Amino acid sequence: MTLKNNKFEMVIWDWDGTIMNSTPTIVECMQQSCRDLGMPVPSDQIASHVIGLGIIESIRIAMPTVAEADYPLVLERFRHYYLGKDHELTMFEGIRELLSDLKANGHILAVATGKPRVGLNRSLNNHQLDDYFHDSRTADETRSKPNPQMLLELMEKWAIPAHKIVMIGDTTHDLKMAKSAGVSAIAMSYGAHSAEELLAHQPLACFSKVEDLRHFLLS
């Protein structure tokens, strides 16, 4: 299919906090896991800050006093709570329609997420989004954000130059990853990190509404 808009050939999406309105749920599950285990409970700010990183890196930063030997306990508790709520999560309004129109417009769509593969596949299936994406990378398959490996692998596989790729995310981890890979980045301020934090990393644009993102990508 011929691309109708030549601004970007490939649009790469973060998942949690960008496509899925999951930030409050992740924070709640992380905090409840710590309460169950009698561990220090991270604040909302700290818990939301690590969203987008791989799970091990998230624990290391948000729960610095937890011994590495206890990480499996935290993981087990987190998964227990998250799996109980995963099916209740919803996409941000307008995302499905935007993904559909971008694909119809000829863009290659991909996901680069801190979720593990099993978690991403479950969410794709739960929300019937499998057919929208051409490719994806997860933190348990490559290096965790902000390392650029996810983007570099996608760039190489699809033979698309950096200037024809844009990364869309709601965290500074996404923006740092994009910068390291040499690709453009668009920040969405409705997720885990504030507009002020995101703008400090000088994204191509920062939007608070999917409607504004749609206008930027398709107009």
**CA geometry: angle 29, 31, 35, nearest 5 deg:** 115
pLDDT at residue 3, as a whole number:
53
Q: Which residues are catalytic?
A: 14, 16
pLDDT band at 7 (very low <50, low <70, confident <90, very high): confident
Fold held by 10-21+91-218: Rossmann fold (3.40.50)
Section 47-75 average pLDDT: 90
pTM summary value: 0.91
92-141, pLDDT tens digit by residue?
999 999 999 999 999 999 999 999 999 999 999 999 999 999 999 999 99
pLDDT at residue 56, as a whole number:
87
The domain locations on the chain are 10-21+91-218, 23-88
Contact of 25 with 168, CB cutoff 8 Å = no
Fold held by 23-88: DNA polymerase; domain 1 (1.10.150)
Does residue 43 have a pLDDT over 70?
yes
pLDDT at residue 5, as a whole number:
52
Taking alpha carbons only, the member of 92, 138, 135 closest to residue 112 is: 138
